[in-house]
Structures are given as structure tokens and as C-alpha cells.
Amino acid sequence: MELWFSERHTKNVQFSIRTDKQLFSAQSPFQRVDIFESVEFGRFLTLDGYMMLTEKDEFIYHEMIVHPAMAVNPDIENVLVIGAGDGGVARELTRYASVKTIDVVEIDEMVIDVCKKYLPQTARGFDDPRVSVLIQDGLKYIRSVEDRYDLIIVDSTDPFGPGEGLFTKEFYGNCFKALKDDGIMVNQHESPFYENDAIAMQRAHKRIVKCFPISRVYQAHIPTYPSGHWLFGFASKRYHPVGDLDEAKWNGLKLSTKYYNTKLHAGAFALPNYVWALLKDVE
């Protein structure tokens, strides 16, 4: 039997994965949730038909959304994670003994339940007692929070559907307010390559630049996302993402990582000229 999952990266580009089985499929109040089994990527989660993570390459996304900020400020204690119902961000954060609280605010309980059942590789992030899960709209949650977090990680879906509000100026402004004086916000920033992704990336960057004094973008190779060239935003009240990197301290922690290292950290912020041009356009 041939069973292929296909995602349109644009209306003219399609990426397809041979699957063994569809392990789960349901409509939550927010989105369609599916889990597939595949030979190439292991299990993978899709939301509304868009690839969220595969067992084979989720380590890249989760390491790169967590470790750069932790290496810039090793004193981070209180972290807010918005989205990330798969548990992968929490898993990486729990590796730091210095982290005291991790609040995960996920709008869709079904994502958490399904990941706990089918994707224990990421969902074990929820097992740590420092992790609190709040089933709530992150956009609303953040409105009432002030001066509480050292780090906010916005692990949103794409800027349409339930994740849409997480790309607005109101939301970024509230993140600023929820952060302490030396707070950092990291968000997934879409991709620079295909036109619609690049427009979303520029829109997010423009809004973040208006809210934070320091706002830089870094990149990673994530093969199962459109174009494989994925960006993250590093926004901060005080720390420079490269100048304030404490290489020795982070390396002293002896964390074993498969993608991230402190040399790559600086390299990830060295963007291609065409990406710089897209960012400069909106700064």
C-alpha cells in the first residue's frame, strides 16, 4: 500500500512523506490534529494539515528555540512558554538546573493529550515538577502579567488559524510588559524563502522591532519545514544575542546537544544578504 502525507509549501510546491499509518485524527475546538507513523521521520504531528514536528528532526527546532537565550543569560529562572503543546520546549528547558518555573500556556488541550500518548519523546517535557500547564489562550493570559518572566518563548503555529494572534503588535507589547528588566523573548519567525512566509516573517519582525530595543533574527536548518531554512526572533530588553553570549559558562554546563553549540550560536545570527535585506526593509 502507498499512503502519502502531502503538505503544500506554496500552491506550487509540495512536500510528501510516505506514511505507514495514521495513528490519530480528530477535530479539536481549535484545529484538526493528526499523528502519523513513517519510516523516514518516525512519528509526526500535523495541525490543520501543517507539519508541526517529526521525531527525526524536532531536536533542531527545540534546541534552537531554547539554548541560544539560555546561553546568553544563564541566570534565567522563570520561563513562560506559549504554545508548545508537544512538550519539546519544556523538555529542553528542564535540562537547566537553574530554571525554577516553566509555565506552558497552550490553547488546545487535545494537542497535549495526543502528544503525551503518541509522542513521549517530546511530551516527557511535561513530567518535570517545575512545569505548570495552563490550558488557555496565550494572547489573553499575557495581558494580565507584569514583570514576572526572565524568558518568554513563543512556539506558535503559523500566523493564520489559532496562532494568528501571537503575531500581533498587541501580543508582543504584552510580552515586553510581562518580562523583567533584562527579559528575553524568542519566537518562531517563519522562513525567508517562499514569498508568503517571507511576508509573515517581515510583519512579525516589524512589530517586534517596535516593541523591543534589541531585536535580531537567527536561522537553523529544519528539513521538514517549508524550504528547510527557518528563522527565530531574539528580542531583548538588555542582552545582545551574540555580544553577551557566555560561551564558557554554557559549555561548563556540559549539556549534550545534537544541533546547538556555542560556535554555531554566533554563526546562526550571520544571515544571508537577501534575508538581511528583507529585515532591513521593515526596520
Query: Order of strands across the sheet with 179-188?
Result: 131-135, 101-106, 78-83, 149-155, 179-188, 229-236, 214-221
3-state secondary structure 66-112: HHHHHHHCCCCCEEEEEECCCCHHHHHHCCCCCCCEEEEEECCHHHH
Q: Do residues 109 and 135 make contact, with C-beta atoms less than 8 angstroms apart? A: yes
Q: Cβ closer to a copy of itself: 44 or 149?
A: 44
208-211 contacts at long range (C-beta below 8 A, 24 or more positions apart): 208/172, 208/233, 208/235, 209/282, 209/283, 210/169, 210/172, 211/169, 211/172, 211/173, 211/175, 211/176, 211/235
Chosen residue from 146, 267, 281, 283 binding a copy of itself by CB under 8 A:
267
**Window 146-185: contact mask with a copy of itself (x via CB under 8 A):** ----------------------------------------
Shortest distance, position 137 Cβ to a copy of itself, whole Å: 33
**Of residues 34, 57, 150, 155, which has the active-site annotation?**
155
In the complex, least distance from residue 245 CB atom to a copy of itself, rounded to whole angstroms: 12
Q: From 83-91, 92-100, 149-157, 273-281, give the range in contact with a copy of itself by CB under 8 A.
A: 273-281
- Please name the residue ranges forming H helices in 161-253: 169-178, 195-211, 247-252
Min. distance of Cβ 140 from a copy of itself in angstroms? 36
Q: Rule CB under 8 A: which of 218-257 touch a copy of itself?
A: 219, 221, 223, 227-229, 257
Rounded-to-integer distance, Cα 235 and Cα 139, Å: 18
Query: What 3-state DSSP class applies to 139?
Result: helix
And the C-alpha cell for 17? 512523506
Q: Is 20 annotated among the ligand-binding residues? A: no
Please report which helix (H) or strand (E) contains residue 267, including its range.
helix 262-268
Q: Which is nearer to a copy of itself, 16 or 144 (CB)?
A: 16
Q: Which of 140, 146, 272, 281 binds a copy of itself (CB under 8 A)?
A: 272
Considering only residues 114-133, where is the footprint of a copy of itself by CB under 8 A? none
- Any idea what DSSP says for residue 49? T
**Distance of closest approach, residue 56 Cβ to a copy of itself, in angstroms:** 9
Scored b (16 or more CB within 10 A) or e, 127-145 reads eeebbebeeebbbebbeeb
13 binds a copy of itself (CB under 8 A): yes
Clarify whether 147 is annotated catalytic.
no
Whether residue 163 is annotated as binding a ligand: the answer is no
Grid coordinates representing 229 are 531554512
Residue 194 Cβ vs a copy of itself, minimum distance, rounded to whole Å: 8
Q: Is 24 in the site for a copy of itself (CB under 8 A)?
A: no
Regarding 134 and contact with a copy of itself (CB under 8 A), the answer is: no
Is 94 annotated as belonging to a binding site?
Answer: no
Provide the β-strand partners of residue 235: 185, 215
Annotated binding-site residues for S-methyl-5'-thioadenosine read: 31, 106, 137-138, 162
> What are the catalytic residues?
155
- Contact residues for a copy of itself (CB under 8 A)? 4, 10-18, 38-40, 57, 60, 193-194, 219, 221, 223, 227-229, 257-261, 263-264, 266-274, 276
